[in-house]
Amino acid sequence: MKGRGPFLYALSVYSLISSALMGAQFLCAGALVFLLYRLSHLGALSALPVFRSSYYDSAGFAFLAATNTALQYYLASLLSLDESARGARFGVVAVSAVFSTALFLRLSAGASFGAYSLAWAPMLFSYMLGGFCGALQDERENPFLGVRPGIFGPG
């Protein structure tokens, strides 16, 4: 039971930070969709074909997937500084991916842009792509090499 304490602490902190980032990304994606909508109706994008709502949603989801991959990579890179076991890092990223994807589904269900039945798939893929690359990278490739934040270790 003693070995589970640091894992559960790291999982809790990682999931909390990741969920907060997901919420912020979601708000930024909503602002991007609204900006595109307003620009297309003001004539600023008149050279482009007429936008439909699916174009706005696609821009929002593309923004979310791209930023989520980068953020998860850097967050998992911080995690790899504190956790010594690769299996534990993999578990933290995988379980946190499920929590954050559930949060994304809840947020997108109540959003003005559509909640498609498979919208969770690119988010989960981007989460795992960035997170696993950051968690399983070689120590020399870590962008935070030499930094010791200690946010994922108890005490």
Q: List pLDDT tens digits, range 25-67.
A: 988 988 988 888 777 777 655 555 655 666 777 788 889 889 9
Query: Could you tell me the pTM of the whole model?
Result: 0.82
pLDDT digits (tens, 9 = 90+) for 110-133: 665 555 666 788 888 999 999 999
DSSP codes of every residue in 67-85: HHHHHHHHHHHHHHHH---
The pLDDT score that the predictor gives to residue 44 is 53
Distance (Å, whole) CA 100 – CA 82: 21
Residues in the chain: 155
